[in-house]
Amino acid sequence: MKIEIKLRIAMADGRICEEEVLSLDKPHDRLEAIGLSLAEAKDLLGRLQEHMVAAQAASFAAERRCCSHCGRSQRSKGRAVIRFRTPFGDVPISSPRLHRCTCTAGESKTFSPLTELFSEHVAPELLYLETKWASLVSFGVTVDLLKDVLPIGSTLSPETVRNHLHRMAARAEAELGEERPSFIEGFPLVWARLPVPEGPIVVGVDGGYVRARDGTQSHFEVLVGKSIPEDRENRYFGLVQSHDDKPRRRLREVLREQGFQMNQDITFLTDGGDSVRNMAVAMSPCAEHVLDWFHITMRLTVLGQYAKGLAHHNPSEAEDAARELKRIKGYLWNGNHRRALPCVAWLIDDLDAVETDYPGMKAFRKAAEEFNTYIANNAGMIPNYAERRRYGERVSTAFVESTVNVVVGKRFSKRQQMRWSKEGAHLLLQTRTRVLDGTLRRKFEQWYPGLAVNNPAHQPQVNIAA
């Protein structure tokens, strides 16, 4: 059968434009020919987009043809072509140039009315799609994905996508306020008069490493965090430690967007590192700093794996070590570092005395010593986890997977030999954290309010039953 698709546009000035867009010869006796093919759909969307954009641009230009002061028609001085990149193709737009009316003195002699409308040459929704997908998968896969499903311009390259993502992240960065040594505002009398806050907020902050592309170091540190309010949506945040000069402001803004106020309970669960603690310091007069139980168990798990390895060589010594580890875990869970630390010391002594051909023995001893230092250094941040749990308080923000693995691991992939510049990693972290917690679209709608109108999530629900 023959299918003809026609477009009818009622222009702003009342004219009607009718055009044939596409005609298709479609068989109706083969499964794969039923409906539009991907190629036909892309062709159709691309053609529709060209007609629509041309009509809209023409209407905009027509309204500016006459002088806005005296109403006289302004003479044409030729045309140029603007390329507008959209999710449905790169659209060439014929842009008129006009002689400015003589009644407006002092300004340039000619002007192009469409430069006012096309202040950017990439459609916001294309920027959004590129930023979203490149935050989740590589720049190259993003290009493949978009080209597969959309009639997107053939010139779209991984470099373009990266540049666009960086531009969007930099735009958000520019909106961040100035850094301060402390974000504690007001004083106790003022806090006492604040309204009753919502439930407590728990913030987990953790450090990880990303492979460096240039410089003398092979890796650099990233900090990532997750803020979990009792009554609101979770938020992620991230930064490159040696690149970012506003870590506290960054955290402060996430908390502010979550409605945080000075009289609200807030707990920071961290791995105890200095950089992590520096970020969380001076955020609130009600802040409590706790060693994240996740980091204790991770280290104990590693020690337990060494004990299992030792069991193949020295079963009885391995059994002793495993028993000691279990006891240490029990003491720490109950917040009793005073009894846990001597046990760790005994474990180290026992391990020193073991004669074995277990190849992991040296690493086992080293890990035990590091654990000893870790617990001793962070003893002041070890609460009674068992009691906290009984009262329904969080002892960890990482239940299934560490926040570092979620935010950094997959996209910055340690396994592939992907290398990053500090700035590139930092900017990607800004968009990736927003994609992960679902706030990227909101940011774009703040920049381009018209996008909100087209978002199905904002459409009022139609009650069909009524």
Point out which residues bind Zn ion (CB under 5 A): 67, 69-70, 101, 103
Encoded amino acid at 447, one letter: W
Write down the least CB distance from residue 67 to Zn ion, Å: 3
Q: Which is nearer to Zn ion, 33 or 70 (CB)?
A: 70
Cβ-based neighbour number of residue 240 at 10 Å: 22
Q: Which is nearer to Zn ion, 102 or 278 (CB)?
A: 102
Q: Which residue has the tokens 């139980």?
A: 293
Encoded amino acid at 152, one letter: I
Q: Which is nearer to Zn ion, 68 or 373 (CB)?
A: 68
Write down the least CB distance from residue 106 to Zn ion, Å: 13
Beta strands in 39-100 (DSSP E): 76-86, 89-99
Write down the least CB distance from residue 98 to Zn ion, Å: 11
As a whole number of angstroms, the distance between CA 67 and CA 28 comes to 56
Pair type for strands 266-270 and 287-291: parallel
As a whole number of angstroms, the distance between CA 218 and CA 397 comes to 29
Beta strands in 26-106 (DSSP E): 76-86, 89-99
Encoded amino acid at 120, one letter: E
Contact 120, 154 (CB under 8 A): no
Write down the least CB distance from residue 112 to Zn ion, Å: 17
Q: Which is nearer to Zn ion, 109 or 338 (CB)?
A: 109
Write down the least CB distance from residue 62 to Zn ion, Å: 17
Q: Which is nearer to Zn ion, 62 or 67 (CB)?
A: 67
Contact 384, 338 (CB under 8 A): no
Q: Which is nearer to Zn ion, 68 or 455 (CB)?
A: 68
3-state secondary structure of 94: strand
CA neighbor of 63 nearest in space, from 117, 127, 138: 117
Q: Which is nearer to Zn ion, 71 or 456 (CB)?
A: 71
Q: Which is nearer to Zn ion, 103 or 137 (CB)?
A: 103
As a whole number of angstroms, the distance between CA 158 and CA 92 comes to 22
3-state secondary structure of 284: coil
DSSP output for 109-150: SEE-THHHH-SSSB-HHHHHHHHHHHHHS-HHHHHHHHHHHS
For residue 213 the two structure tokens come to 């592309």
Write down the least CB distance from residue 14 to Zn ion, Å: 25
**What is the torsion angle, in degrees rounded to the nearest 10, for the CA atoms of residue 46, residue 49, residue 51 and residue 55?**
-160
CA neighbor of 407 nearest in space, from 277, 225, 247, 270: 225
Write down the least CB distance from residue 70 to Zn ion, Å: 3
Q: Which is nearer to Zn ion, 69 or 415 (CB)?
A: 69
Pair type for strands 89-99 and 110-111: antiparallel
Q: Which is nearer to Zn ion, 111 or 237 (CB)?
A: 111
- DSSP-derived letter for residue 365 is H
Write down the least CB distance from residue 107 to Zn ion, Å: 11
* DSSP alpha helix (H) spans, 138-221: 139-149, 158-174, 188-193
Q: What is the end-to-end Cα distance of the chain in Å, rounded? A: 40
Write down the least CB distance from residue 129 to Zn ion, Å: 42
Q: Which residue has the tokens 């926040």?
A: 403
Q: Which is nearer to Zn ion, 71 or 449 (CB)?
A: 71
